[in-house]
Amino acid sequence: MRDAVLAFSTQFEFQPVVENKENLKVTDSFVLTGMGGSHLNADLLLAVAPHTDIIIHRDYGLPLVSAEKAAKSLFIASSYSGNTEEVIEAYNEAKEKGYALAAIAVGGTLLELAKADGVPYVAIPDTGIQPRSALAFSFMALLSLTGKDAFLKETQSLRTIIDPADIEQAGKDLAAAMKDRVPLVYASRANETVAWNWKIKLNETGKIPAFYNVFPELNHNEMTGFDVVPTMKHLAAPFHVVLLEDGDDHPKVQQRMDVLATLYSKRGLPVTRLALDGNTRLEKIFRSLLLADWTAVHTAALYGLESEHVPMVEEFKKMIAS
């Protein structure tokens, strides 16, 4: 896993090619079906272009949409392996309904179907990494299918701007600071995708429980669970709060982060404040996610665990297939 993180910036060199492009529906309305790391591309798109008309579906079948929405939309099936059963089912259902389709995968059943059906697709380079590690590949594939050429060019420019090796020590230090605690990752609503990615990287790569929430909503409910009193102090004890702070957040959200950090610290909860650093929104996000990668890699190492593979997921897949 460490090698995959070190090499992450090479993904920005990817030049996605849309095969069967003559059949690609040109539209500004999209529905993407993907599970796990395979819908993170759409999450990221909404984070940098929040007005994009895209529905993200993380389930079997297709989302409930109006006939008008369905008719004008491009339905994108996204599965890193190309074999995700929920995505294959969605692809087949969209095909049966006559919807405009596109696909993103490294291969597998999904690309076989797309090739046979003449459906536009982008083949992601099969470098042997995990889906969660291939975010730049899948994001650029999505940008090419959705016509976001300016974002594609900006993403590719990060190749010479971000060096993952420069971020490793900060991740190692954070992993050590959080050892024997459960991370709670908090961010603004605008940066929910970043917090969500931190959580899943700590789950899948770090192999530990981790959770996230967003401001200002958490100030109306979750924080009251940490108003520590002697009878429940043991319930709050295992947590470590990570605040993802962004100078572009609403001033009131920034104030809420300041106040909550003070309140939690007074109650004995460890709080780490991390600024999103970069000259552009995309740079900020990718730098933060690389820090999350390094934190997760070193978290797994602290517990003597292998960081790349997800044996419980594989065990689960075998059990539901039997």
Tell me what pLDDT residue 308 has: 83
Q: For residue 39, what is the domain's CATH number? A: 3.40.50.10490
Query: Which own/partner contact pairs does 280-285 have at CB distance under 8 Å and 24+ positions apart?
Result: 280/154, 281/47, 281/48, 281/248, 282/48, 282/151, 282/154, 282/155, 282/158, 283/158, 283/161, 283/162, 284/246, 285/44, 285/47, 285/48, 285/191, 285/193, 285/194
Given the residues 51, 220, 234, 266, the one annotated as active site: 220
Are residues 287 and 153 part of one domain?
A: no
Tell me what pLDDT residue 25 has: 97
Tell me what pLDDT residue 317 has: 85
Render each residue's pLDDT in the chain as its tens digit; 322 residues: 889 999 999 999 999 999 999 999 999 999 999 998 899 999 999 999 999 999 999 999 999 999 999 999 999 999 999 999 999 999 999 999 999 999 999 999 999 999 999 999 999 999 989 888 999 999 999 999 999 999 999 999 999 999 999 999 999 999 999 999 999 999 999 999 999 999 999 999 999 999 999 999 999 999 999 998 889 989 988 999 999 999 999 999 999 999 999 999 999 999 999 999 999 999 999 999 999 999 999 999 999 998 888 889 889 988 988 7
Are residues 111 and 70 part of one domain?
A: yes
Residue ending a domain, choose from 160, 177, 208:
160
For residue 125, give the 3-state DSSP assignment.
coil
Tell me what pLDDT residue 284 has: 98
Tell me what pLDDT residue 117 has: 98
Residue ending a domain, choose from 115, 139, 160:
160
Are residues 155 and 7 part of one domain?
A: yes
pTM of the predicted model as reported, rounded to 2 decimal places: 0.94
Backbone angles phi, psi at 309, to 5 degrees: -85, 160
220 a catalytic residue: yes
Are residues 185 and 151 part of one domain?
A: no
Are residues 193 and 145 part of one domain?
A: no
- On whether residue 308 sits in a domain, the answer given is no
298 a catalytic residue: no
In the block, which residue shows the tokens 């993952």? 164
Which structural domain range is residue 245 located in?
A: 164-302
- On whether residue 313 sits in a domain, the answer given is no
Tell me what pLDDT residue 43 has: 95
Strands 53-57, 100-105: parallel, antiparallel or unpaired by DSSP?
unpaired
Q: How many domains does the chain have?
A: 2
- On whether residue 247 sits in a domain, the answer given is yes
Tell me what pLDDT residue 141 has: 98
284 a catalytic residue: no
- On whether residue 239 sits in a domain, the answer given is yes
- On whether residue 314 sits in a domain, the answer given is no
Are residues 180 and 105 part of one domain?
A: no
Are residues 151 and 21 part of one domain?
A: yes
Compute the distance between CA of residue 215 and CA of residue 180 in angstroms, rounded to an integer: 26
Are residues 169 and 156 part of one domain?
A: no
Given the residues 19, 86, 168, 204, the one annotated as active site: 204
Are residues 229 and 278 part of one domain?
A: yes
Tell me what pLDDT residue 130 has: 87
Tell me what pLDDT residue 241 has: 98
Tell me what pLDDT residue 309 has: 84
Are residues 285 and 241 part of one domain?
A: yes
- On whether residue 173 sits in a domain, the answer given is yes
For residue 25, the tally of other CB atoms under 10 A from its CB is: 16
Are residues 128 and 34 part of one domain?
A: yes
Compute the distance between CA of residue 240 and CA of residue 265 in angstroms, rounded to an integer: 10
